[in-house]
Structure 1
Amino acid sequence: MMLLFMVPLGLVFTIGVGLYPAFVMRLFTEDPALIAEGVKYLQFACVSYFSLTLNLAISTMLRCTEQVKIPMITSGIAAGMNAVLNYIFIFGLFGLPAMGVAGAGLATAISSLINPILMMAISFAKKNIVIAPFKQVFAIKGFFKPFWSRALPVLLNEFFWSVSILVVNMVLGRMGTDNYAALTVERTIENLVFVFFVGLCNACNILVGKSIGAGNIEQGKLYSRRFMVLTPIIGILAGLLIIALRYPLIGLFDLSETAKHTARVLLVIFAIDAAVRYIPYVEVVGIFRAGGDTRMGLIVDVICHYVFITPAVILAGLVWKLPFITTYVIMLAVDDISKLIITIPYYRTMRWIKPITQPEPVDREEAMIEIGGDPIL
């Protein structure tokens, strides 16, 4: 079901960005030089939008069936290949021409295809439960309505969130080339932290969702409380590490001195904020959705992003013409405060526990044998 809906969506983005890369770049910046470089990158990198949706669908299915090692291994291989290919294509090694930014886009396109291909190859080799007979892929009778009742709020949630982020980036992108370059570097480093929390959130989703789905509500509550405590602790540790390493990390990038200074300030602000920044994310994606409540995330993001965050950034950056760093602080503060005020009280009510299955004992080994497979890794 996921593949049926996500892959066509990925194709739409790939085709759209591939045909109109300059239009996409103009949404974020008015600098002709940046637009020209961005077009070179997007002409190749647009392929990754299709492969990333394929990767997300397959990896989610594997994680939900407790086969977490496969996406972990294949992601590591793809990341390593991306680094190697970037070095080869950007600088033109082994007799290849130096492609610069275009080489980075080509490396992204190739490495993004490696991950889903490897996951499918391993799944076929092991004949695990992800590899269903072709006719079963379209056997959606009786499943369509319950699927959409849970999936549609998530899809709308991600769509409205993405549009809000797009608008925010458009505003920030018009506040100076050096400022936006600094923000891009800060977010690159921030994403290293975010990826860790994505993994933490996936683990939370599996543990809480499996417990509640099996009818063990109290165990699901216990797991959720542990992740609520663990999240800010990890955020504090990550923040301290970023503050300690901010100079060497920023030194890895080719920036003007002004942009480097701005990037270091942004990193310190993010590091201080990291203690609370990911609590709403883990609540909505890791706990509420695992408990069967997919609507609360939609409500939270629509209210917070469209009533508070996006208007605050527009006012600060475009109307009041506040300094870039001040606008960044306002963005984070409004984001955190608005979401925490809503999500923490809701979490404590436990109304997010809405089981969607009746607990039935299932022998996983027998389920594997029935389709001619073996336990995976």
Structure 2
Amino acid sequence: MKLQKNGGGNAGFYQKLFALVLPIAFQQFMLTAVSASDALMLGFVSQDSLSAVSLAGQITFVFNLFMGGLTMGTSILAAQYYGKGDTLSIEKIFAYVTKVSFLISAVFFLASLFVPELLMRIFTPEPQLIAGGATYLRIVAASYLFTGISQIYLCILKNTGYAMKSMIIGSTAVVVNIFLNAALIYGLWFFPKMGIAGAALATSISKLLELAWAYVESLREKHVRLHVRFCFAVDKLLARDYWRYSLPMLGDYLVWGVGFTMYSVIMGHLGSDAVAANSIANIVKNLIVSFCTGLANGGGIIVGNELGMGDLKQAKKYGGLLWKMAIVSGIASGLLLVALSPLILKVTALSPQATEYLKWMLVLCACYMIAKSINMTTIAGIFPAGGDSKFGLICDTITMWAFAVPVGFLA
């Protein structure tokens, strides 16, 4: 969906925005739904199973931080070149980032396959949680290879006018994942009963499906394609531009995300009750904040398109409108979380102590939704689209590592 200059005023802006935001938000919601289904289904197996997979999932979380940094840099350049109508440059960036992403994915694959126990000991000293998490990581390792490539495909689709198709592919993979979760965890129909291993296998199979479909979609007429020759014949100017945008974004994702992972380390040393409650709270928060994520990503694409066409005035105007929308969506998200909290506490099969932890975690999550929405829209959407990807790195380094993580350990 290439934007036309001035796009019919505010009405045109909102039409363009929601055509991007809704598919991205729905896809984000569906991705979080996988974690929700893992937690809900494994919670009925045992609280230790839920806690083990929650901690093992932190490895996937860190992997997704790398993917987030890579795809954000890709989005910035792809949106700008798409605004200019320069398909060749998009294909060169596509190939280069796919190569980088595959190499990073291979590191996570090898570590999860061969030293999963070592990874689990980072988060917990409890033997039963280490054993369950290691089982999960060995099987889910293959999904890192598939995801590392499929996410770049889906990113290119979103930024070249096919956001809806990207949503359909990603969401279908999620539905398959949830179905296989139930079948393989509990042994439904003719499937074997595998417990934790079943949840991991479901993830790997669904990610393979996602990659295969994204590849086939890219072969269609007028779609940007992955050309192997561009993987090895690097355009040095494009690569330099890419890292100029991406390195600060990647650094920001890692500084924030690894700091956030430290919360799981803290919880892991407080016991299974704290881990289980934290797992549910994060899942609920991520489900509800999906629209804010879509607003940040969709808004960044639109601002990037306008800058690609050289219309700085219109890009600034759209940035102001996005900031106001972020406040509204943050308030709505917080109120929704408050309204759903009693239901969440009733349906989760947790111990009394874990339920008490969860109650207060949900209250605190609701309180910070407005700030979360504004920060995502500005730091992860508008600023990078305008070329400022360093502010987020500086901001998160100070807030996470000078305040949040030390205070978390002390508390």
Q: Which residue of 2 aligns with 1:310?
A: 405
What CA deviation, in whole Å up to 9, does each residue of 1:272-324 have, x standing for no partner?
A: 221222211221110111111122222222222222222221222xxxxxxxx
Q: Which residue of 2 aligns with 1:99?
A: 194
Percent sequence identity is 31
Q: Is 1:116 aligned to residue 211 of structure 2?
A: yes
Q: Tell me the SS of whatever aligns to 2:191.
A: coil
Separation (CA, whole Å) in 2 of partners of 1:127 and 1:136 = 19
What CA deviation, in whole Å up to 9, does each residue of 1:119-142 have, x standing for no partner?
A: 111121x13342144323433233
Q: Which residue of 2 aligns with 1:369?
A: none
Contact 1:185 1:250 in 2 (8 A): no
What CA deviation, in whole Å up to 9, does each residue of 1:178-214 have, x standing for no partner?
A: 1221011111111112333222211111111111221
Separation (CA, whole Å) in 2 of partners of 1:143 and 1:206 = 19
Residue type at the aligned position of 2:192: P
Residue type at the aligned position of 1:222: K
Q: Is 1:288 aligned to residue 383 of structure 2?
A: yes
Q: Is 1:185 aligned to residue 317 of structure 2?
A: no
Q: Is 1:65 aligned to residue 166 of structure 2?
A: no
1:235 shift after superposition: 1.8
Q: Which residue of 2 aligns with 1:346?
A: none
Q: Which residue of 1 aligns with 2:122?
A: 27
Contact 2:252 2:397 in 1 (8 A): yes
User: Per the alignment, do residues 82 and 132 of structure 1 end up closer, same or farther by CA in structure 2, a change over 3 Å counting?
Assistant: closer
1:2 shift after superposition: 1.2
Deviates further, 228-237 or 193-202: 193-202
Separation (CA, whole Å) in 2 of partners of 1:128 and 1:198 = 28
Separation (CA, whole Å) in 2 of partners of 1:224 and 1:48 = 36
1:154 shift after superposition: 2.0
Contact 1:232 1:274 in 2 (8 A): no
Matches within 5 A, 1:305-344: 305-316=400-411
Q: Is 1:207 aligned to residue 302 of structure 2?
A: yes
Number of aligned residues: 315
Separation (CA, whole Å) in 2 of partners of 1:226 and 1:309 = 30
Q: Tell me the SS of whatever aligns to 1:289.
A: helix
Q: Is 1:79 aligned to residue 178 of structure 2?
A: no
Separation (CA, whole Å) in 2 of partners of 1:137 and 1:186 = 41
Separation (CA, whole Å) in 2 of partners of 1:259 and 1:79 = 28
Separation (CA, whole Å) in 1 of partners of 2:226 and 2:354 = 51
Separation (CA, whole Å) in 1 of partners of 2:97 and 2:234 = 11
Q: Which residue of 2 aligns with 1:368?
A: none
Separation (CA, whole Å) in 2 of partners of 1:277 and 1:136 = 38
Structure number with bigger Rg: 1
Separation (CA, whole Å) in 2 of partners of 1:71 and 1:250 = 34
Q: Which residue of 1 aligns with 2:135?
A: 40
Structure 1: gaps (5+ residues)? 317-377
Q: Is 1:222 aligned to residue 281 of structure 2?
A: no
Deviates further, 100-109 or 36-45: 36-45
1:81 shift after superposition: 0.5
| 1:131 counterpart (203, 214, 225) | 225
User: Per the alignment, do residues 45 and 173 of structure 1 end up closer, same or farther by CA in structure 2, a change over 3 Å counting?
Assistant: same
Q: Tell me the SS of whatever aligns to 1:17.
A: helix
Q: Which residue of 2 aligns with 1:140?
A: 234
Greater RCO (CA < 8 Å, at least 6 residues apart): 2
Q: CA RMSD in A?
A: 1.8
Residue type at the aligned position of 2:228: F
Contact 1:193 1:238 in 2 (8 A): yes
Residue type at the aligned position of 1:116: L
Q: Which has the higher helix share?
A: 2
TM-score relative to the length of structure 1: 0.79
Residue type at the aligned position of 1:226: L
Separation (CA, whole Å) in 1 of partners of 2:307 and 2:296 = 16
Contact 2:329 2:373 in 1 (8 A): no
